[in-house]
């Protein structure tokens, strides 16, 4: 096992890093005095080429390997997630083609790409140290990206909140991970799981009981680790940064936080839980409660769904509305993990990927409207259906997909996820209460999604404000995203079949 | 397989296209519609002749030329429903006959319908009829045949009721449609039975068709709960369809009424082609009727029924024809009678015998109808033979051709086609081993035929003209009133008031048909039975000696005697002295008044049907109405009250309980939302504190969980 192997496994990440350096270099050295539009165009091009190169490499040279006991892992599943991440990043980049919030274009793109590199590494590791490092790489890039709109106070404020919150979450994570290391004397997830299982058998042997008793240290380790990821995924009670960040950050940054970062976060959370805490699940089945990470996540999921959906009801700002809806969606997604089956990856990944597409599109539309009307209040959307029919139609698809209306991807994602949670082997109908809550909360969520659509289609525009044309590139990306949401909803097999076959390997 | 077999479908499709196009044409595009119809029919005739020639060249001694093309129509489960067309001598003969007669009548119609404002529509319907009839003839599937069968029924309905403003025409159209539907229902049942028994409706399908040996053996050996073979049951049901369409007793009542349609329609549909479709159908499914020599007992029962029905119809209708006074009605009853002869021929002698009479009859009967049309047209729409008379002088061509038709219909010896074909039937009936009665009935019918035709000719063409000239006839008056024709289009304004000969466009078809009426007979004489040989696939031999065989000679002598006797009787009653006037009673009435009235009223069949069928129907309708008003209506009212009460209750529950509850719930949710967003104070210190509290709470939760469990 040499470092050459490592490099070989890490070529996609390397390509993206090279692209990040290239975009930075080109922008700083060659394009200093050139007008912003061109710089944006070239920056976007280089970044997209980098991401596409990564995708192409992943598609052309599929590899499987495990470098240094899970330090870097490549298998079909990671490959799919990495491709999805890169594609989401490309969409984000294309959405930023028409933004004008910063003159520091090279830095912006480099940071987006570095954040993506962090996510890619996060996806392809099974080592807690690596997890922490890549988590931090991602987070730090996102903090800066949130603050990138220097002219806006809100952007800076949001970034600071995000950063402070993230710092504390990182501290929690690190503490949790170091406790884990203390338990297992290893940073590898598999070995950690073995150690936990050993401890558990000792404990249950000592207690003489059939059920699982958890070591207090392990409890602390679980809670703290979950807290760290919970911050990343904006779940209650670690969600408090999200509404401010979603509202304050520049549109591309917010879109990246909402889509790519979420995908990577959920994937690694699932991995850590399934692999690392394999012996400490516990159960939340009705009247058969056993402590472990499953009840923990169940509580968090329930709280996220309730709080996210209820708070979204009263939001006046569409971005905050999307933020709260994101919190609620994180709650739904956590349900998939509760079955603690590896097969749960399929509904989870389908849900997160299509959710990423949808929310990216929604942010794209919000960005255009913000350019147009100067704000993201609900009232700013009034009359959009008349003045920008195509854009409004895209928003219709995104909102309905988020609400889970057939035949859009959001519907199938919810349906598949809930039915999986109910039918997962072993759980029986134990998750029925949680799924019922989720479905009830989805019904509540329809209200605020329709509020947006009502503004767009029903409420007449207050004043014939400045009409800004939707940029062609943005429009194209949005139409493509809407199309993807529609097609994936009708033909979910396009995504699910590769995931399922990767899981089977 | 020849090209024409593959393109045989063109023959019905060309008129169909013409019908479609002229349906789109405007009312005044007369030339367009007429030339489309005539042109497409002429092309069909050419193709038919080609197909006929091919069949002729291919059929030789001992084998029957038959080519089929089948195609898939749609799928039910695993089975495909197939349709197809075929070319065999039967189809070829019918193709040529239908397209030739059709073409001549189309041409004639140009003259006859000249003054009608719905000229375009008329030709559209005619073309549609031609398409359906030609499709019926070539179809190789009982299903396709049935579809075309219904289509000709539809066009018949449309054309009988073409002058729908005349109440009699509308009623006649309705009667024709409904009466034939009764037969068609049985036909449909037979078809369903056949399909369930054999799994196919194709006639010939290289061994798998329902008229081929395997299926026939299967059908003959299956017996039903009625004690008859399945083949017999199916045949009888199909024959019911033929009874309806071909106007056999007891479903003959619609055909005379159908004469309310324009005369070309009567000639084409109700004399030459459509009504003969029933005969054709029986000829087509003949293997089913008379399966397998030496089959089990009773398998020929269907043919016995055909024979008897045919014989009875032949005689029965001929007696009615004797006492009618409407020129077209006489011909209509004559048609019914002749169709009976065809059925009789099919029953006793086989396909060739019946079909020969069908073909010859098609020509001379359409000739007679067209001649009658010419008379009607030339005499201001007058149809009552008592009011006509002496037309020989005014309309010489019409008279000459009409005389030819009459002699052919009577079966005047040697020279005319009707003689040979009728003689063939009578001969077969005579040697039939079932019973002698069909033969006697046939001979009596021949006598009556000669008599009533002589009567008609004397009424119409001899004596003096009894037309009430200078004043509008009753039927003309009706036509004018209902059509609302402008006064200047009235024939009286432009033309001399007396009877006049029809124009060339009407005369030429008459002459052509007359020549066919004479010549066709020589194709099927006992000396040279070419036609019979062609249909059965054997080579005819020219043998004048067979004319002199005692059996044949005897029949010929007998039928000749009958014809002469009939004509002589006709002369005795009507020819000796001129009729006194239009109002004078019929000479027959002097002899036997009661019987004459009975015949004149058509044995009161219509009245009986009216009393029985229509009366029963009306009684049922009344009973249903009473039930509706007094019983069902009460029930419905009660139901309405219940439903109204329930909806009141529902509304109460909805408004008071649910709406308030739901509103309250929604309010609660929104309040909850506001409460939740209060957490979001905007101060980061508080956020962090909350997150910390959250961690602690979660840890406590798990610890408590450990304790508790």
All residues of chain A having their beta carbon less than 8 Å from the beta carbon of residue B683 are none
Which among B676, B679, B709 has the least Cβ separation from residue A211? B709
pLDDT at residue B435 in the model: 84
* Cis omega (within 30 of 0) for bond into B250: yes
pLDDT at residue A125 in the model: 92
Q: How far is the C-alpha of B309 from the C-alpha of B331, rounded, in Å?
A: 20
Q: Which helix (H) or strand (E) holds A72?
A: strand A72-74
Nearest CA to B67 among B42, B86, B89? Answer: B86
Residue A404 burial (CB count, 10 A): 22
With CA atoms as reference, the chain A residue closest to B682 would be A244
Task: Name, in order, each residue with C-beta under 8 angstroms of B294's C-beta and a sequence gap of 6 or more.
Answer: none
- CB-defined contacts A:B, below 8 A: 95
Q: Which residues pair with B80 in a beta bridge?
A: B75
pLDDT at residue B85 in the model: 93
Residue B63 Ramachandran class (φ > 0 left, ψ -120 to 50 alpha, else beta):
beta
DSSP state, residue A185: S
CB-CB under 8 Å, B709 with A219: no
Mean pLDDT value across residues A332-353 = 91
Nearest CA to A367 among A449, A252, A280, A267? Answer: A252
Q: Does A404 touch chain B (CB under 8 A)?
A: no
Pairing of strands A72-74, B67-76: unpaired
Q: Does A299 touch chain B (CB under 8 A)?
A: yes
Query: Quick one: how far is CA A190 from the chain centroid?
Result: 24
User: Is it the case that residue A328 has pLDDT exceeding 50?
Assistant: yes
Distance from the B650 Cα atom to the nearest Cα atom in chain A, whole angstroms: 24
Residue B390 Ramachandran class (φ > 0 left, ψ -120 to 50 alpha, else beta):
left
All residues of chain A having their beta carbon less than 8 Å from the beta carbon of residue B709 are 211, 213, 289-291
DSSP codes joined into one string, B473-505:
-HHHHHHHHHHT--GGGSHHHHS-SS-----HH
Which among A289, A300, A314 has the least Cβ separation from residue B674? A314
Q: How far is the C-alpha of A329 from the C-alpha of A401, rounded, in Å?
A: 12
Which among B675, B680, B709 has the least Cβ separation from residue A291? B709
Query: Quick one: how far is CA B450 from the chain centroid?
Result: 27
Please, where are the H alpha helices in B610-683? 615-627, 633-652, 660-678
User: Is it the case that residue A75 has pLDDT exceeding 70?
Assistant: yes
Nearest CA to B691 among A219, A157, A165? Answer: A165
Alpha-carbon torsion (A98, A102, A106, A108), positive or negative: negative
pLDDT at residue B188 in the model: 95
Q: Does A160 touch chain B (CB under 8 A)?
A: yes
Distance from the B74 Cα atom to the nearest Cα atom in chain A, whole angstroms: 30
All residues of chain B having their beta carbon less than 8 Å from the beta carbon of residue A313 are 669-670, 673
pTM over 0.95: no
Mean pLDDT value across residues A8-31 = 91
Q: How far is the C-alpha of A458 from the C-alpha of B126, rounded, in Å?
A: 58
Tokens 């991995």, located at residue: A271
Distance from the A38 Cα atom to the nearest Cα atom in chain B, whole angstroms: 38
DSSP state, residue B68: E
HSE, side-chain direction, 13 A CA sphere, residue B109: 34
CB-CB under 8 Å, A314 with B673: yes
Residue B61 burial (CB count, 10 A): 9
First to last CA, chain B: 89
DSSP state, residue B162: G
Q: Does A412 touch chain B (CB under 8 A)?
A: no
All residues of chain A having their beta carbon less than 8 Å from the beta carbon of residue B675 are 310
3-state class (DSSP) for residue B74? strand
pLDDT at residue B489 in the model: 42
Distance from the A343 Cα atom to the nearest Cα atom in chain B, whole angstroms: 26
* Cis omega (within 30 of 0) for bond into B358: no
Query: Quick one: how far is CA A160 from the chain centroid?
Result: 21
DSSP state, residue B384: B
Distance from the A168 Cα atom to the nearest Cα atom in chain B, whole angstroms: 8
Q: How far is the C-alpha of A437 from the C-alpha of A429, rounded, in Å?
A: 14
Find the angle CA(B591)-CA(B594)-CA(B598) to the nearest 5 degrees.
120
Query: Which tokens go with B492?
Result: 């009286």
Q: How far is the C-alpha of A110 from the C-alpha of A104, rounded, in Å?
A: 10
User: Is it the case that residue A388 has pLDDT exceeding 60?
Assistant: yes
User: Is it the case that residue A200 has pLDDT exceeding 60?
Assistant: yes
Q: How far is the C-alpha of A248 from the C-alpha of A242, rounded, in Å?
A: 10
Query: Which tokens go with A244?
Result: 């401010």
Task: Name, in order, each residue with C-beta under 8 angstroms of A179's C-beta and a sequence gap of 6 or more.
Answer: A217, A218, A220, A221, A224
Q: How far is the C-alpha of B314 from the C-alpha of B105, rounded, in Å?
A: 26
| A24: confidence class by pLDDT, cuts 50, 70, 90 | very high
CA distances from B327 to A447, B369, B384, B464 (A): 82, 9, 6, 17
Which among B670, B687, B693 has the least Cβ separation from residue A165? B687
User: Is it the case that residue A480 has pLDDT exceeding 90?
Assistant: yes
Measure the CA dihedral B508/B509/B512/B517, to 10°.
Answer: -140
With CA atoms as reference, the chain B residue closest to A160 would be B684
Please, where are the H alpha helices in A236-375? 241-248, 251-258, 260-271, 293-313, 318-337, 345-373
All residues of chain A having their beta carbon less than 8 Å from the beta carbon of residue B670 are 313-314
Residue B33 Ramachandran class (φ > 0 left, ψ -120 to 50 alpha, else beta):
alpha
Choosing among A156, A313, A317, which should be mutated to test the B contact, i.e. which has the most B CBs within 10 A? Answer: A313
Q: What is the mean pLDDT of each run of 10 residues along chain B (709 residues)?
A: 86 94 88 92 94 85 82 84 91 93 92 87 94 94 94 94 89 92 94 90 88 84 78 91 91 90 89 90 88 54 90 93 90 94 90 90 92 86 83 88 92 87 90 87 93 91 75 57 43 56 84 90 83 81 79 88 91 80 77 83 87 91 92 91 93 83 81 77 83 89 77
With CA atoms as reference, the chain A residue closest to B690 would be A237
CB-CB under 8 Å, B698 with A296: yes
CB-CB under 8 Å, A214 with B709: no
pLDDT at residue B485 in the model: 45
Give the residue with greater pLDDT, A399 vs B209.
A399
All residues of chain A having their beta carbon less than 8 Å from the beta carbon of residue B684 are 160-161, 164-165
Distance from the B78 Cα atom to the nearest Cα atom in chain A, whole angstroms: 29
CB-CB under 8 Å, A282 with B705: yes
Tokens 């003309």, located at residue: B476
Residue A49 burial (CB count, 10 A): 16
Q: Which residues pair with A498 in a beta bridge?
A: none
With CA atoms as reference, the chain A residue closest to B687 would be A240
DSSP codes joined into one string, B545-573:
GGGG-HHHHHHHHHHHHHHHHHHHHHIII
Sequence-separated contacts (24+) of A43-47 with Cβ below 8 Å: A43/A105, A43/A106, A43/A108, A43/A109, A44/A93, A44/A94, A44/A96, A44/A97, A44/A109, A46/A19, A46/A22, A46/A109, A47/A19, A47/A20, A47/A23, A47/A93, A47/A109, A47/A112, A47/A113
pLDDT at residue A426 in the model: 60
pLDDT at residue B309 in the model: 93
Exposed e or buried b per residue across A409-433, where buried means at least 16 C-beta atoms within 10 angstroms of its C-beta: bbbbbbebbbebbbebeebeebbee
Q: Does A172 touch chain B (CB under 8 A)?
A: yes
Query: Which tokens go with B298?
Result: 């009773």
Which among B674, B682, B691 has the least Cβ separation from residue A237? B691
DSSP state, residue A179: H
Which among A211, A238, A296 has the least Cβ separation from residue B702? A296
Q: How far is the C-alpha of A4 from the C-alpha of A22, rounded, in Å?
A: 23
Q: How far is the C-alpha of B637 from the C-alpha of B627, rounded, in Å?
A: 14
Q: Which residues pair with B86 in a beta bridge?
A: B68
Q: What is the mean pLDDT of chain A?
A: 88
Q: How far is the C-alpha of A434 from the C-alpha of B651, rounded, in Å?
A: 33
Q: Which helix (H) or strand (E) holds A65?
A: strand A65-67
Q: Which residues pair with B528 in a beta bridge?
A: B525
User: Is it the case that residue A59 has pLDDT exceeding 80?
Assistant: yes
pLDDT at residue B490 in the model: 42
Which among B673, B699, B709 has the least Cβ separation from residue A223? B699
HSE, side-chain direction, 13 A CA sphere, residue B431: 12
CB-CB under 8 Å, B676 with A165: no
CB-CB under 8 Å, B698 with A223: yes
Nearest CA to A324 among A255, A446, A234, A252? Answer: A234
CB-CB under 8 Å, B692 with A313: no
User: Is it the case that residue A212 has pLDDT exceeding 60?
Assistant: no
HSE, side-chain direction, 13 A CA sphere, residue B630: 6
HSE, side-chain direction, 13 A CA sphere, residue B171: 6
Q: Does A331 touch chain B (CB under 8 A)?
A: no
Question: Cβ(B360)–Cβ(B520) under 8 Å?
Answer: yes
Q: Does A200 touch chain B (CB under 8 A)?
A: no
């Amino acid at each position: 096992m040499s470092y050459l192997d490592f490099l070989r496994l890490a070529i996609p990440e390397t390509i993206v890093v090279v692209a990040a350096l290239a975009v930075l270099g080109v922008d700083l050295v060659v394009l200093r005095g050139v007008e912003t539009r061109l710089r944006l165009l070239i920056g976007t091009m280089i970044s997209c080429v980098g991401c596409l190169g990564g995708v192409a490499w992943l598609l052309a040279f599929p590899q499987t390997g495990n470098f240094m006991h899970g330090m870097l892992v490549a298998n079909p599943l990671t490959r799919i997630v990495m491709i999805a991440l890169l594609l989401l990043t490309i969409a984000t980049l294309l959405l930023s083609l028409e933004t004008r919030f910063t003159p520091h274009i090279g830095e912006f793109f480099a940071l987006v790409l570095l954040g993506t590199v962090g996510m890619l590494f996060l996806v392809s590791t099974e080592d807690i140290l690596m997890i922490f490092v890549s988590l931090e790489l991602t987070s730090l890039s996102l903090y800066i990206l949130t603050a990138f709109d220097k002219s806006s106070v809100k952007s800076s404020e949001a970034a600071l909140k995000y950063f402070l919150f993230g710092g504390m979450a990182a501290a929690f994570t690190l503490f949790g991970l170091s406790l884990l290391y203390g338990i297992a004397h290893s940073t590898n997830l598999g070995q950690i799981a073995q150690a936990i299982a050993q401890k558990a058998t000792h404990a249950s042997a000592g207690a003489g009981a059939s059920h699982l008793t958890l070591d207090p240290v392990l409890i602390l380790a679980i809670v703290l680790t979950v807290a760290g990821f919970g911050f990343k995924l904006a779940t209650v009670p670690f969600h408090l940064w999200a509404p401010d960040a979603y509202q304050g950050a520049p549109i591309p940054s917010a879109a990246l936080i909402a889509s790519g970062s979420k995908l990577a976060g959920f994937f690694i959370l699932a991995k850590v839980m399934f692999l690392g805490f394999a012996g400490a699940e516990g159960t939340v089945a009705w009247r058969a409660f056993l402590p472990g990470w499953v009840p923990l996540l169940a509580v968090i999921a329930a709280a996220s769904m309730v709080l996210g959906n209820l708070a979204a009801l009263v939001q006046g700002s569409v971005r905050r509305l999307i933020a709260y809806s994101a919190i609620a969606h994180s709650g739904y997604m956590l349900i998939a993990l509760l079955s603690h089956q590896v097969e749960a990856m399929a509904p989870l990944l389908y849900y997160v990927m299509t959710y990423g597409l949808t929310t990216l599109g929604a942010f794209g539309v919000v960005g255009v409207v913000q350019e147009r009307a100067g704000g993201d209040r609900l009232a700013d959307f009034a009359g959009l259906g008349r003045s920008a029919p195509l854009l409004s139609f895209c928003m219709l698809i995104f909102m309905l997909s988020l609400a889970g209306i057939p035949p859009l991807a959001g519907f199938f994602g919810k349906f598949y996820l809930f039915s999986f949670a109910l039918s997962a082997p072993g759980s029986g109908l134990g998750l029925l209460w949680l799924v019922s809550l989720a479905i009830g909360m989805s019904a509540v969520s329809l209200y605020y999604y329709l509020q947006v659509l009502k503004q767009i289609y029903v409420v007449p525009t207050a004043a014939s404000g400045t009409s800004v044309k939707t940029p062609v590139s943005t429009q194209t990306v949005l139409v493509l995203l809407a199309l993807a949401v529609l097609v994936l909803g009708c033909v979910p097999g396009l995504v699910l079949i590769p995931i399922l076959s990767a899981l089977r390997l | 397989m020849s090209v024409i077999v593959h393109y045989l479908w063109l023959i019905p499709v060309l008129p169909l296209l013409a019908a479609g196009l002229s349906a789109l044409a405007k009312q005044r595009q007369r030339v367009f519609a007429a030339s489309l119809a005539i042109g497409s029919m002429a092309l069909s005739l050419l193709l038919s002749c080609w197909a006929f020639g091919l069949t002729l060249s291919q059929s030789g001694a001992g084998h029957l030329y038959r080519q089929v093309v089948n195609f898939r129509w749609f799928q039910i489960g695993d089975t495909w429903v197939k349709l197809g067309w075929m070319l065999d001598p039967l189809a070829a003969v019918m193709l040529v006959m239908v397209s030739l007669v059709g073409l001549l009548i189309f041409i004639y119609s140009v003259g006859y319908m000249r003054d009608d404002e719905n000229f375009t529509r008329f030709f559209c319907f005619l073309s549609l009829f031609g398409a359906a009839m030609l499709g019926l003839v070539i179809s190789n599937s009982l299903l396709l045949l049935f579809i075309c069968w219904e289509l000709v029924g539809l066009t018949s309905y449309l054309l009988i009721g073409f002058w729908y403003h005349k109440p009699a025409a509308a009623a006649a159209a309705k009667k024709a449609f409904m009466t034939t539907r009764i037969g068609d229902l049985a036909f449909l049942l037979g078809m369903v039975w056949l399909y369930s028994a054999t799994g196919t409706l194709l006639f010939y399908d290289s061994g798998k068709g329902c008229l081929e040996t395997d299926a026939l053996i299967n059908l003959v050996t299956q017996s039903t709960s009625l004690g008859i073979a399945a083949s017999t049951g199916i045949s009888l049901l199909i024959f019911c369809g033929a009874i309806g369409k071909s106007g056999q007793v007891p479903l003959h009542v619609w055909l005379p009424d159908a004469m309310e349609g324009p005369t070309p329609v009567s000639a084409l549909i109700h004399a030459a082609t459509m009504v003969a479709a029933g005969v054709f159908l029986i000829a087509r499914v003949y293997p089913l009727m008379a399966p397998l020599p030496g089959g089990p007992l009773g398998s020929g029962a269907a043919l016995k029924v055909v024979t008897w029905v045919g014989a009875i119809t032949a005689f029965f209708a001929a007696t009615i024809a004797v006492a009618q006074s409407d020129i077209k009605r006489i011909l209509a009853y004559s048609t019914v009678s002749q169709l009976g002869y065809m059925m009789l021929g099919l029953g006793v002698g086989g396909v060739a015998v019946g079909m020969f009479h069908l073909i010859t009859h098609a020509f001379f009967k359409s000739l007679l109808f067209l001649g009658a049309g010419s008379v009607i047209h030339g005499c201001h729409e007058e149809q009552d033979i008592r009011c006509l008379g002496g037309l020989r002088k005014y309309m010489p061509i019409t008279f000459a051709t009409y005389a030819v038709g009459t002699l052919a219909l009577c079966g005047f010896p040697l020279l005319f086609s009707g003689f040979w074909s009728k003689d063939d039937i009578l001969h077969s009936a005579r040697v039939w081993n079932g019973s002698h009665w069909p033969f006697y009935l046939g001979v009596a019918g021949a006598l009556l035929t000669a008599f009533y035709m002589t009567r008609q000719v004397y009424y119409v063409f001899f004596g003096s003209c009894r037309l009430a000239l200078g004043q509008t006839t009753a039927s003309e008056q009706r036509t004018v009133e209902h059509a609302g024709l402008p006064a200047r289009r009235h024939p009286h304004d432009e033309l001399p008031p007396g009877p006049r000969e029809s124009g060339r466009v009407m005369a030429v078809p008459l002459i052509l048909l007359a020549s066919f009426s004479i010549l066709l007979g020589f194709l099927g004489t006992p000396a040279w039975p070419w036609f019979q040989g062609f249909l059965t696939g054997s080579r005819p031999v020219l043998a004048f000696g067979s004319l002199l065989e005692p059996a044949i000679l005897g029949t010929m002598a007998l039928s000749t005697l009958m014809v002469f006797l009939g004509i002589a009787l006709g002369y005795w009653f009507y020819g000796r002295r001129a009729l006194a006037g239009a109002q004078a009673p019929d000479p027959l009435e002097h002899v036997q008044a009661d019987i004459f009235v009975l015949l004149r009223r058509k044995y009161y069949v219509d009245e009986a049907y009216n009393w029985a069928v229509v009366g029963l129907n009306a009684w049922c309708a009344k009973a249903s109405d009473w039930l509706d008003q007094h019983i069902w209506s009460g029930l419905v009212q009660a139901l309405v009250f219940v439903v109204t009460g329930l909806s009141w209750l529902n509304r109460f529950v909805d408004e008071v309980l649910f709406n308030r509850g739901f509103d309250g719930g929604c309010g609660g949710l929104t309040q909850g939302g506001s409460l939740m967003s209060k957490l979001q104070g905007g101060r980061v210190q508080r956020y962090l504190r909350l997150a910390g509290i959250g961690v602690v709470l979660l840890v406590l939760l798990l610890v408590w969980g450990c304790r508790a469990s």
